[in-house]
C-alpha cells in the first residue's frame, strides 16, 4: 500500500485539536517514550532479581514453612532477603557510612572499560552492524597494550601514549578485519565476531604460555607487571585512574562523530539504508570497514583501561565478560553515546557493588548477570513493560528500534500518516 493517498485524506487539525494533541503528546512521550520504559525496565528487573534472591534465602524458606500461622514472618524475611542484598549493593557501589563515597570511585573505575567497549558496540549498532566481537577486540587490544607496557621501556609520558596507541590499534585491527571480511565477502558480522572472540581468547591463552609473555619464574599464565611509566596515574587512595577521563573523552568524540561529522552521516546512512547510501555515493565497503575498525578501537581502549589502569598485568581473564556486558550497556543506552555512558555507569555500579554484596550477604555475583540481562530484555520490548503497568495505548505499538528491525507493517505507516 502506498501512502500517496494518506496525506490528502487527513483532516487539517483545528486549533483546539492542536493544543489537545500537544498535551496528549507530552503525556504520550512520558509514558510511551524510552525514558519511562527504561526506568520501569530497571525496576522490574530488580524486583525479579530480588525475588530470585529471596527464593533461595534460607530464612525465607524456613518462614514459608509456617506461612499460614505467622505470615508476617515470611513477608518480613522475604523483604529482608531482597532488600539486604540491594542495600549492600548500594553500599558497595555508591556510598556507605564507613568509607563515604569511596565505593563510588570504584564504580567509576569498573565503569571505564564498560563505557569504552559499550561505545564501540553502540557505534556499530548505529551503522547497522552487530558487533558481538567487543570481547575479542578487548583481548587483542589488551595483548598489544600490555606488551608495549611491560616489554618496552620508554620515558614517562610517552610510554603511556604508546601503550594507549597499541591497545587501540590492536582493537581496530581485530574489528577492522571483520569489517573487511564482511565488505569483501558478505559474511555476516555476527558469526564472524563470535568466531573472532574465540580465536582471540585462545590466542591470548597461547601467548601467556610463551616466553615473550609469561612472567619469568611463573608457571601460571600471567604476564609481567606493566612499567610504572606505562599505566594511568590513579587517584590516591583508590583504583580510579585517568582512564575514566579517557572514557569521557571518547563519549564526547563518538557523539561528535555520529551527530556532527560527515563520516557519522555516512555510518548512519549505511546503517539505515545501505542501498540508498551507495546510490548517494557513499563507499559502503569502506564505511563498513571503518565502522568496525573504530568500534574495535573503542573496545581496544577498554582493553587499555584494563591492563594500563585497573589490572596492570595481562591475564587470561583480562577481558572477563566485558565484551558481552558492553552489548547490554549499548542496548540499555539505546546506542546513543551518552545513553551508553550512563548505562555503563549503572552496570559498573552493579559490578562494583556486587563484590561487597557477596561478602556481606552471600548473594553470588551472578545475580548481576540476571538483573542486567532482564533489564535489556525488558527495554527491548517496550510493549511488554507498558502492558505490565497498564500504560498501553490502543494504537499499534511500534517495534523497538534495532539495527535491522522488521520492515514496518503496512498498518504502521498508515496510522502515523493518519495522525500527522
Partner 1 sequence: MSAPAPTLPAKLRPLAPVSWKTPIMLSVIGLLSLVFFGFAGSEQTATFGISTGGDVFTLPDLVVPGIATGIVLGLGMCVLAGYSIFLAREHRPTPGWVPMVFAALFIFAFLVWVVSGARTPQISLAGLIAGSVTLAVPLVFGSLSGVLCERAGVVNIAIEGQLLGGAFSAAIIASVTGSPMLGLLAAAVAGALVSVVLAIFSIKYLVNQIIVGVVLNVLVSGITGFLFTTVMQEDPELYNSPGRLPVIDIPGLSAIPIIGPILFRQSIVGYLMYIAVAAVWIGLFKTRWGLRVRAVGEHPKAADTLGIKVNTTRFVNVVLGGAIAGIGGSFFTLVAIDSFTKEISGGRGFIALAAVIFGRWNPIGAFFAALLFGFADNLQSILTIIGTPVPSQFMAMLPYVVTVFAVAGLVGKSRAPAADGEPYVKG
Partner 2 sequence: MKLELQGISKAFGSFYANEDIDLVVEEGQIHCLLGENGAGKSTLMNVLYGLYEPTAGRILVDGKPVVFRGPGDAMAAGIGMVHQHFMLVPVFTVAENVALGAEATKAGGILDLEVTRKKIREISDKYGFDVDPDAIVEDLPVGVQQRVEIIKALVRNAEVLILDEPTAVLTPQETDELLDIMRQLKSNGTSIVFISHKLREVKAVSDVITVIRRGRVVGDAPPEAETTELASMMVGREVKLTMDKEPANPGEATFKVKNLSVISSTGQRVVDDLSFEIHRGEILAIAGVQGNGQTELTEAILGIQDRVTGSITLEGKELLGRSVKQVLGSGIGFVPEDRTVDGLVPEFTIAENLVLDLYDKAPFAKGISMRPAEVRKNAESRVAEFDVRTPSAENLASSLSGGNQQKVVMARELSRPLRLFIASQPTRGVDVGSIEFLHRRIVDERDGGTPVMIVSTELDEVMQLADRIAVLYKGRLIGIVGADTPRDVLGLMMAGVSPSEAESSHQDNPDDMEGDFA
* 8 Å CB contact between 160 and 231: yes
Using CA atoms, how far apart are residues 159 and 163, in angstroms rounded to an integer? 6
Residue whose CB is less far from partner 2, 224 or 403: 403
Using CA atoms, how far apart are residues 146 and 311, in angstroms rounded to an integer? 10
Indicate if the alpha-carbon torsion angle 346, 347, 348, 352 is positive or negative.
positive
As measured in angstroms, the least distance from the Cβ of 299 to partner 2 is 23
Cell of 207: 601467548
DSSP string over 370-408:
HHHHHHHHHHH-HHHHHHHTT---SSPPPPP--TTPPPP
The Cβ-side half-sphere exposure at 61, using a 13 Å CA radius, reads 6
Assess 14 for contact with partner 2 (CB under 8 A): no
Q: Of partner 2, partner 1, none, which one sits near residue 157, judging by CB under 5 to 8 A according to partner kind?
A: none
Cell of 73: 514472618
Cell of 251: 563519549
Listed in order, strand segments (DSSP E) in 68-172 are none
Cα of 100 vs its chain's centroid, Å: 27
Assess 185 for contact with partner 2 (CB under 8 A): no
Which residues is 96 bridged to in the sheet? 100
Give me the residues that bind partner 1 (CB under 8 A), please.
52, 56, 130, 132, 181, 184-188, 190-192, 194-196, 198-199, 202-203, 205-206, 209, 321, 324, 327-328, 331, 363-364, 366-374, 376-377, 380-381, 383-384, 399-400, 402-411
Using CA atoms, how far apart are residues 52 and 363, in angstroms rounded to an integer? 10
As measured in angstroms, the least distance from the Cβ of 21 to partner 2 is 12
Assess 2 for contact with partner 2 (CB under 8 A): yes
Q: Binding partner 2 by CB under 8 A: which of 261, 359, 362, 365?
A: 261
Interface with partner 2: number of residues (CB under 8 A): 41
As measured in angstroms, the least distance from the Cβ of 182 to partner 1 is 9
* 8 Å CB contact between 237 and 102: yes
Q: Binding partner 2 by CB under 8 A: which of 260, 317, 390, 404?
A: 260
Please report, as residue ranges, which positions from 358 to 417 form the binding site for partner 2 (by CB under 8 A): 395-396, 410-411, 413-417
Assess 254 for contact with partner 2 (CB under 8 A): no
Listed in order, strand segments (DSSP E) in 39-198 are none
Angle (deg, nearest 10), helices 158-185 and 284-305: 140
As measured in angstroms, the least distance from the Cβ of 172 to partner 2 is 18
As measured in angstroms, the least distance from the Cβ of 186 to partner 1 is 7
As measured in angstroms, the least distance from the Cβ of 160 to partner 1 is 30
Using CA atoms, how far apart are residues 119 and 254, in angstroms rounded to an integer? 7
Q: Of partner 1, partner 2, none, which one sits near residue 416, judging by CB under 5 to 8 A according to partner kind?
A: partner 2
As measured in angstroms, the least distance from the Cβ of 176 to partner 2 is 19
Q: Binding partner 2 by CB under 8 A: which of 6, 180, 255, 384?
A: 6
* 8 Å CB contact between 76 and 70: no
Binding mask 208-247 for partner 2 (x = CB under 8 A): ----------------------------------------
Assess 419 for contact with partner 2 (CB under 8 A): yes
Residue that is written with C-alpha cell 591492563 in the block: 307
Interacting residues toward partner 2 by CB under 8 A: 1-10, 260-263, 265-266, 268-269, 272-273, 275-283, 395-396, 410-411, 413-420
Amino acid at each position: 500500500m502506498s501512502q500517496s493517498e494518506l496525506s490528502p485524506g487527513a483532516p487539517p487539525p483545528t486549533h483546539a485539536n492542536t493544543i489537545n494533541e500537544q498535551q496528549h503528546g507530552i503525556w504520550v512521550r512520558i509514558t510511551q517514550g524510552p525514558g519511562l520504559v527504561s526506568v520501569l525496565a530497571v525496576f522490574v528487573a530488580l524486583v525479579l532479581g530480588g525475588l530470585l534472591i529471596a527464593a533461595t534465602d534460607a530464612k525465607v524458606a524456613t518462614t514459608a514453612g509456617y506461612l499460614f500461622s505467622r505470615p508476617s514472618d515470611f513477608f518480613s524475611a522475604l523483604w529482608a532477603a531482597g532488600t539486604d542484598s540491594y542495600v549492600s549493593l548500594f553500599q558497595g557501589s555508591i556510598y556507605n557510612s564507613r568509607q563515604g563515597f569511596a565505593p563510588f570511585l570504584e564504580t567509576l573505575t569498573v565503569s571505564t572499560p564498560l563505557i569504552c567497549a559499550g561505545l564501540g558496540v553502540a557505534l556499530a549498532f548505529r551503522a547497522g552492524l552487530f558487533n558481538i566481537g567487543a570481547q575479542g577486540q578487548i583481548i587483542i587490544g589488551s595483548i598489544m597494550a600490555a606488551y608495549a607496557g611491560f616489554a618496552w621501556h620508554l620515558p614517562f609520558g610517552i610510554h603511556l601514549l604508546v601503550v594507549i596507541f597499541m591497545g587501540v590499534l590492536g582493537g581496530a585491527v581485530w574489528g577492522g578485519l571483520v569489517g573487511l571480511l564482511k565488505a569483501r565477502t558478505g559474511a555476516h558480522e555476527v558469526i564472524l565476531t563470535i568466531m573472532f572472540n574465540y580465536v582471540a581468547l585462545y590466542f591470548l591463552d597461547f601467548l601467556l604460555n610463551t616466553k615473550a609473555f609469561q612472567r619469568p619464574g611463573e608457571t601460571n599464565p600471567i604476564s609481567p607487571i606493566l612499567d610504572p611509566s606505562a599505566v594511568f596515574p590513579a587517584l590516591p587512595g583508590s583504583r580510579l585512574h585517568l582512564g575514566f577521563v579517557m572514557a569521557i573523552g571518547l563519549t564526547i568524540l563518538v557523539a561528535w562523530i555520529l551527530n556532527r561529522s560527515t563520516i557519522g552521516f555516512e555510518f548512519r546512512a549505511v546503517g539505515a539504508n545501505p542501498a540508498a547510501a551507495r546510490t548517494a555515493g557513499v563507499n559502503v565497503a569502506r564505511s563498513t570497514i571503518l565502522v568496525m575498525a573504530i568500534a574495535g578501537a573503542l573496545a581496544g581502549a577498554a582493553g587499555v583501561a584494563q591492563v594500563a589502569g585497573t589490572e596492570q598485568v595481562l591475564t587470561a581473564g583480562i577481558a572477563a565478560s566485558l565484551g558481552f556486558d558492553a552489548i547490554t550497556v549499548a542496548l540499555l543506552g539505546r546506542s546513543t553515546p551518552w545513553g551508553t555512558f550512563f548505562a555503563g555507569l549503572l552496570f559498573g555500579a552493579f559490578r562494583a557493588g556486587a563484590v561487597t554484596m557477596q561478602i556481606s550477604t552471600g548473594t553470588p555475583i551472578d545475580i548481576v548477570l540476571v538483573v542486567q540481562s532482564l533489564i535489556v530484555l525488558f527495554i527491548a520490548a517496550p510493549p511488554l513493560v507498558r502492558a505490565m503497568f497498564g500504560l498501553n495505548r490502543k494504537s499499534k505499538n511500534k517495534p523497538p528500534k534495532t539495527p535491522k528491525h522488521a520492515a514496518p507493517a503496512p498498518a504502521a505507516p498508515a496510522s502515523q500518516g493518519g495522525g500527522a
